[in-house]
Structures are given as structure tokens and as C-alpha cells.
Structure 1
Amino acid sequence: MEGNSVVRRHAETVGPYMRFAVLLVYPMVSLLFRRRWAGLDRIPATGPAIVAVNHISYADPLIFARFIWDAGRVPRYLAKESLFRLPFFLGRIVTGAGQIPVHRETADAAQALQGAVAALGRGEVVLIYPEGTVTRDPDFWPMQAKTGVARLALLAPGVPVVPVGQWGAQWFLDVYSRRFRPWPRKQITIRAGAPVDLSDFAGSEPDSEVLRQMTDRIMVAVRDLVAETRGEQPPAEFHPRPAPGQHAPRRRPRARDGRR
């Protein structure tokens, strides 16, 4: 781990289901990955926060939950409602661990985020992947995001929106390239930045232009953290989102595989 990354102790109450999830995830992440955490102190030690992070692998939720836990907070993900109905006790764990269902089928976008607003009202940290799914960018840069993160920020005025960039998990698991390579251990870098300044949008109506401007500002901050981690210049434009029902093209990963 690197600068400003001292693991904090938890001030929040942790229920039995979350304890059980931590007992599973914590050693698993330690076993499978070499970790570099930066900016843990950017995650507020207490009080509500929206944490926006890029999505590069289906392994992200487990790894990022560990980062938030090491920051001294209990991770609360916005998750598809269907995950809460998983069989074999898995749905019970997701529900009992206090994760937040998003009811995407509702016509009222604000209603779909009601659970997240309630969690923020309780002083919790809500984690969101603004892209909604793993990026389709061929080089794993963030793609154009949905506007849910901006809508949530407007529904919870004054709550900080913390951008986070992550890198490395795609070399471990990339479903779109049919790539699963657990060994050798991959290095995962997660870097949190300063809260995004959205003060000029305070009191704005959630019309499409405002939501897009807010979302893009948040995602630029996320993208810049990814660029800092990669040591590369990011693309000027976000990769477009896939059309509904469109299958992702198979990637052709570059030679480097995260061993550096």
C-alpha cells in the first residue's frame, strides 16, 4: 500500500451478515491480489458519502469492498434488484449485509434510488459504478456513464461525491475476452481523489442537460485518477455506451498483464 493509506478502525456498527461477508472476502482478496491503496483518507471517516468508481472487471465489487473496509467504512453497493433473489443463501447475504437494491423497472428514476437516499440519510457510504456495467472501451478506460450518480447527488444535497480510479482487476478476470488468469497474483491499484465540486449545480432541476454535465464532471475526475495510476494520457472522449441488447466485442488484450 502507498501514501495516506493507513487502515482505519471501524466506527460503524457491523451486522452479522456483513461480518460473514468480510470473513469470506478479506482473506480472498489478500490471497489473490497484490494491493496498492492510495487516498484512503479521502473516504470520509464518518457521515454520508457517494463513492463513484470505474468498472473494469466482474471481480471489482469484491476488491473495492475491501478498499472501503480498509478505509474504515462499511461498503453499501447499489445493486440490481435481481441479486437480492439469488439462490443458495446468497440473496439472503446480500440483503442482510445491507446492500441497496435498484429497481430499474420503475418509470420514476428518483424512486429507483430511494434506498440509496435513505442509506445516505443514515450516514452511510454508498458505492456506485456510474457506467452501470464493465466498460466496453477496448483499452479499459471509463466509458460514457449513466446519469444515476448525478441524480443521486441532487437527491442528497451536500453529500460529498468522491471519485475513485482503479486498475488491474481486468488482467485477473475479463469476461468479454474470456480471460481468467488468477496466477501470478495481479497487482490492483485503487486511488481515491478529492470530492468533486458540484456546488454550481446546487438546487438545479434534474433535466437531461444538468444530469449529463454533472455525470461527465464526476467521470472526468474518475478518468484522471485512472490515468494517474496508469501513467498514461487518457482519451479525450468517453467510449460510447453499447446499444441495449448489443453484445460486447471480444477484446484483444495488450501484452502487459498486470505483473508490473
Structure 2
Amino acid sequence: MPRRKPRKIGAGYRIAVLVLRPLLMALTRRHWRGSENLPAHGGFIIVVNHISHADPFTFGHFLYDNGHLPRYLTKSTVFETPFFGWIVRNAQQIPVYRETADAQKAYRAAIEALDRGQCVAIYPEGTLTRDPQLWPMSGKTGAARLALATGYPLLPAAQWGAHEILPPYAHRPRLLPRHDVYVTLGPPVDLSAFEGQELTGPVLTAATDTVMDAITALLAEIRQEPPPAVRWDPRTSALPRTGNPARRANTRRKAAG
């Protein structure tokens, strides 16, 4: 049974709930599983695959209706946008300063949120998946590091369907017909094999692979099909790490021409 919805949510979240939740209720059919895995109390980390710029809203809907307000780690440029930037700031989302001297600020802010008993939501892929079939890519090590350094539970989740509302890098949503949206939440990932070890690159990579395996298994359950034998790795791909890869490819072709 879903938990009672949060009461003290702040101005930013209140506006998002008043505006977005009725739209999502009207435009989606929700297939949610695994809410019993949510901790009864205390902070926790939740990791989920990233398939659409709409999925923070659909996944946030799942968490809100189950009694939690996610604190997403969000790229810092979102905080600079008119109106929406005000919402994410007032909803206490956590800015991520990619590849800058301020990158550690997000890590410290995440720990502070966990210590306050909050839910910290992380996209371990760091961006929309580049996999052609939208399977999870190789992940970055931040979520595993956070879990191993703090001891807070790390829960894996998989989502599917938000890409039908807003395909990757599309600007116009497809609101009709009504879309099926799936979220499945698993039990905490067992990272005990890595506890007590020095958090070196190889240890964090292995722990992250364990995390991504858990997310991928949940997505395979939703999609009812096997995942690729080899996970897409942006480090070995010619595609750019961030941004619309199709746009970058077109830009390179024009420059070459």
C-alpha cells in the first residue's frame, strides 16, 4: 500500500505537485512495483536508468506517491534557467558541477541530505543512455562511492515508458494517446563484498558494475526481454559523453563539408 504523501514539501515541490501530478495522472497509466523495498525511516540512495528528459517527473511521481521527496543530483545549468531554476532550487535539488573544481560540492550536499534522512536520487549513467535500444550504459562511480563511504542503503530502480512521452532529446512531448509508465524498485544492492576496502578506481568500478547489473535486471523484467550481452560503454564509443549525439554528428559533418 502506498505511503502517505509528504506534508512539508516546500514551495518548489508544492508548485511541481500542483501542476505536474494532475497531468501525469491524466496522461499516464502507472505500473509501479517494489514500493515495499523503500526504507521505513532514515536516508537512502536510489539509482535509476535515464531514458528521457521526462523521466525525472514520472519517477518523482512514483516516489512522491510512496511518501518520499527525491533530492536529484541535477546538472548545474538547470538551476540557471528561468522559472524552472527557481523550482529546483526551492525543491532543494542538488546541483552537479561537471568537471569543475566545484564537483565535490554535490558529493558533500548528498551526504548532508542523507544525514537529514532524505532520499538522494542519482542517475548513475550521468546522462541519457546512448544505447540504441535504451538499455542502461556503463555507470559512473559516484553512487557506489557514496553508498560505500556512508553506509546508507542503495536501492536500484528501473523505469520504462517516459521515452514514449518525450523521446530522447525531443522538444515536443507526445501527450496522447495515454502512455504506460513502469517503475520497478528492487531491494538494496548487496555491496558487502566491497565494504572495508580502500575505495580505489578498480573497487569502485566493480561496485558500480554490480549496481548497473541490478538496474539492468529490473529493466529486463519490465521489458520482458534479455539485455545486451555487453553493456554500452561511452568510454569506448565515438559518441560524445553528453548532449544530443545526433546533433553533434551533424555539426561534425557540416564542419567537414
TM over 0.5: yes
Deviation, 1:205, is 2.4
Count of matched residue positions in the alignment of Structure 1 and Structure 2 = 243
Once residues 14 and 178 of structure 1 are traced to their aligned partners in structure 2, the CA distance between those partners, rounded to angstroms, is 29
Q: 1:220 aligns to what? A: 213
> Does structure 1 residue 118 correspond to structure 2 residue 115?
no
**2:245 counterpart of 1:248:** yes
2:169/2:244 contact within 8 Å kept:
no
Q: What TM-score does the superposition give when structure 1 sets the normalisation length?
A: 0.86
Which of residues 146, 149, 153 is equivalent to 2:143? Answer: 149
Q: 2:71 maps to what in 1?
A: 76
| Mapped partners of 1:193, 1:46: distance in 2 | 17
Q: Which runs of 5+ in 1 are unaligned?
A: 1-5, 251-260
SS in 2 for 1:77: strand
Alpha-carbon distance in structure 1 between the residues aligned to 2:46 and 2:106 = 18
| Aligned equivalent of 1:131 | 125
Report the counterpart of residue 63 of structure 1 in structure 2: 58
Deviation digits for residues 29-52 of structure 1 (CA, Å, limit 9, x no counterpart)? 112211111011112132111000
Structure 1 residues 206 and 110, CA gap change in structure 2 (3 angstroms) = farther
Counterpart contact for 1:176–1:249, Cα < 8 Å: no
Residues 1-260 of structure 1 aligned to structure 2 (within 5 Å): 6-10=1-5, 13-87=8-82, 89-107=83-101, 110-156=104-150, 158-176=151-169, 180-241=173-234, 242-244=239-241, 247-249=244-246
- Paired letter, 1:129: Y
User: For residues 180 and 98 of structure 1, what CA distance do their matches in structure 2 show?
Assistant: 26
Q: What's the CA shift string for 1:66-109, capped at 9, x where partnerless?
A: 0010111112111111212211x322211111111122243475
How far apart, CA to CA, are the structure 2 residues paired with 1:99 and 1:133? 17
Contact kept? 1:45, 1:73, Cα under 8 Å: no
For 1:168 and 1:120, how far apart are their aligned partners in 2?
29
TM-superposed deviation, 1:178: 7.3
Distance verdict in 2 for CA 1:204–1:123, change over 3 Å: same
Q: In 1, are the aligned partners of 2:73 and 2:96 still within 8 Å (CA)?
A: yes
Deviations 1:203-225 (A, max 9, x none): 33222111111111001000000
Provide closer, same or farther for how the CA distance between residues 248 and 230 of structure 1 changes in structure 2, counting only shifts above 3 A: same
One-letter amino acid of the counterpart of residue 53, structure 1: V
Once the two structures are superposed, what CA deviation does each residue of 1:130-159 show, in whole Å capped at 9, x if it has no partner? 111111111111111111111221332x21
Q: Per the alignment, in what secondary structure is the counterpart of residue 175 of structure 1?
A: coil
> Normalization by structure 2: what TM-score?
0.87
Answer 1 or 2: which has greater helix percent.
2
Moved more, 181-190 or 147-156: 147-156
CA offset at residue 25 of structure 1?
Answer: 1.8
Change (3 A) 1:114 1:176: same
